[in-house]
Structure 1
Amino acid sequence: MNQFRFREWPVYKDAQKLFSLLLEVVRKMPREYRFELGSQLLRSGSSVILNIAEGSGKQSEKELNRFIETALGSAYETLANIDILKNNKLIKNDDFTSAQQVITGICNQLGAFKKKLDL
């Protein structure tokens, strides 16, 4: 069994892709918004990745499920963060659309994963 099995999961790879996209969004933000809004965006995005990874190391499906649920919540939080940026004209439409598409895919994958694990 692969010790770091999460690295093979498509949802983990997509979450990494999302984080790279979020980094670019933050780099393009006006400087005065990077610390507060940019930091929050990156924290919620990294939380998706970290909860997937941490959950994969748990011994039971019940424990893994809890981390998948947390990752899903973080994905929703990330979407809310980009909504805030869009509503305040702090993100380009193309970046918003790309991020939203990736987040939607992640949410779909996590939802299916959770459904598979639900006992």
Structure 2
Amino acid sequence: MSRPDFEELQVYKLAEKLANEIWKIVMTWEYIAKNTIGKQIIRAADSIGANIAEGRGRYNYQDNKRFIKIARGSMYETIHWMRLAYARNLFTVEQVNILKPIIDELSPKLNAYLNSIRGGNR
């Protein structure tokens, strides 16, 4: 079995980077923060890359587009949780300065990837 090609997509690599950065930050939080916002933001961030991968594996452009739209929704959910975490002093300015450029790059790349998916087998 060959390696899945989603791993080579720049949009997937950014989603994975965002999820891993969020994981590292959340693992430093106190229990109550981890158990509430932490679980939610990790699930949302992990879902971005997972949906890119799942859509890519469908070999059907309609399904792929549907999963990329779900990934975009997960990205917006991640942003929501990031805003709450910052408002509740769970993110430092330095951490936001790491995460914001990833989000700023991921968002247009996700939309561009969605727009690039055409009918046919790929």
TM-score, with structure 1 as normaliser: 0.91
Query: How far apart are 1:28 and its partner, in Å?
Result: 2.4
**Shift in Å at residue 66 of structure 1?**
0.6
Q: Which residue of 1 aligns with 2:96?
A: 96
CA distance in 2, matches of 1:70, 1:88: 27
In the alignment, the residues of structure 2 paired with residue 94 and residue 3 of structure 1 have an alpha-carbon distance, to the nearest angstrom, of: 36
Q: Distance in 1 between matches of 2:82 and 2:118?
A: 30
1:29/1:90 contact within 8 Å kept: yes
Q: 1:45 to 1:88 in 2, by over 3 A?
A: same
Measure the CA separation in 2 of the matches of 1:79 and 1:99. Answer: 10
Note if 1:56 corresponds to 2:56. yes
RMSD of the alignment, in Å? 1.5
Runs of 4+ in 1 over 3 A off after TM superposition: none
User: How many residue pairs end up in the alignment?
Assistant: 118
- Gaps (5+ residues) in structure 1? none
- Any idea what SS the aligned residue of 1:15 has? helix
- SS of corresponding position for 1:72: helix
Name stretches of at least 5 consecutive residues in structure 2 with no aligned partner. Answer: none
How far 1:3 moved relative to its partner?
5.3
CA apart distance, 1:29: 1.8
CA distance in 1, matches of 2:114, 2:12: 14
Q: Percentage identity across aligned positions?
A: 27
User: Is the aligned partner of 1:30 residue 2:30?
Assistant: yes
The separation in 1 between residues aligned to 2:29 and 2:99, in whole angstroms, is 15
**Higher helix proportion (structure 1 or 2):** 1
Deviation at 1:16, TM superposition (A): 1.1
**Contact 2:55-2:67 at 8 Å conserved across structures:** yes
